[in-house]
Amino acid sequence: MALYVVERDLGNVAPEQMRRLQQDVATACRQLKSEGNRIRYISSSVVPVDALALDLFGSDSAELVERVHAAAGVPYSRIVEILDLTPRFIAGDISRSRRSHHDAGRAKGTTHPMTANSPELARWLVDGQRLFSVCLETLENSERLQTRNQTLESENEMLREEVARLRHKVDMLQTDRSEMVAAFNDLAGHVTQVVDHILQKSEDGENSK
């Protein structure tokens, strides 16, 4: 079997919807396998910064991969065949080979790497699933943070409006205070004039006696 990568856009796909799409793809793969076709849904990875999913399949042809997505009703951007060019001199504890049947360096009669070392393949699948879970969790956290950010922005807008109202009220109070001070000064001046006038009359009356 050859290796194929399916690119899918996750721009408008929620994390829970992505899980459902994966389940649909896995179900379609099992159906095709039950009909005698050789195809495997190996793993899925996510590139959060690009909102991109990369699904890895082992299949006899790209047509089978297309049939899987058509049966599952899952849209994709493209399907491309890839070659695993992991150097043979790299030790197995730091590299897990996933060469396709187009690897010219494979000796005739050698068991395909996808089935040769099942423990290695199992560990690779587990690592892939773990990474995928982390990516999904990152997407979910990003969605929660976005929702929280929108809530905070709404609260900040309400606070800004409240601050504007309070400032307007303070300006009105300051204006009223200024008017009251001016009125009090006018009243004080008037009272002073009345008192002075009364005193003046009192002095004039005494002088006239």
Burial of 6 (C-beta count, 10 Å sphere; 0-12/13-18/19+): buried
Indicate whether 188 belongs to any domain: no
pLDDT, residue 101, reads 42
Query: Does the pLDDT at position 187 exceed 70?
Result: yes
HSE (CB half, 13 Å, CA atoms) of 95?
12
* Model pLDDT for residues 79-107, shown as the tens digit of each residue: 999 987 766 666 555 545 444 444 434 44
Q: Which two tokens stand for residue 80?
A: 């491309």
**Total structural domains within the chain:** 1
Average pLDDT over residues 178-204: 80
Q: What percent of the chain has pLDDT over 90?
A: 29
Name the residue type at position 4: Y
Q: What percent of the chain has pLDDT over 70?
A: 73
Average pLDDT over residues 2-23: 90
Distance between start and end Cα atoms, the chain: 136
Indicate whether 202 belongs to any domain: no
User: pTM score, two decimals?
Assistant: 0.45
Indicate whether 161 belongs to any domain: no
What CATH number has the domain bearing residue 69? 3.30.70.3090
* Model pLDDT for residues 26-50, shown as the tens digit of each residue: 999 999 999 999 999 999 999 888 8
Q: Where is pLDDT greater, at 8 or 112?
A: 8
Domain of residue 85 covers: 2-150
Of 7-21, 58-72, 124-138, 160-174, minimum mean pLDDT range: 124-138
Indicate whether 34 belongs to any domain: yes
Indicate whether 54 belongs to any domain: yes
Question: Helix %, strand %, coil % for the chain, to 5?
Answer: 60, 15, 25
Indicate whether 190 belongs to any domain: no
Q: Where is pLDDT greater, at 114 or 43?
A: 43
Indicate whether 58 belongs to any domain: yes
Average pLDDT over residues 176-187: 85
Indicate whether 104 belongs to any domain: yes
Q: Is residue 70 very low, low, confident or very high in pLDDT (cuts 50, 70, 90)?
A: very high
Q: How much is the mean pLDDT over the chain?
A: 79
Average pLDDT over residues 11-18: 85
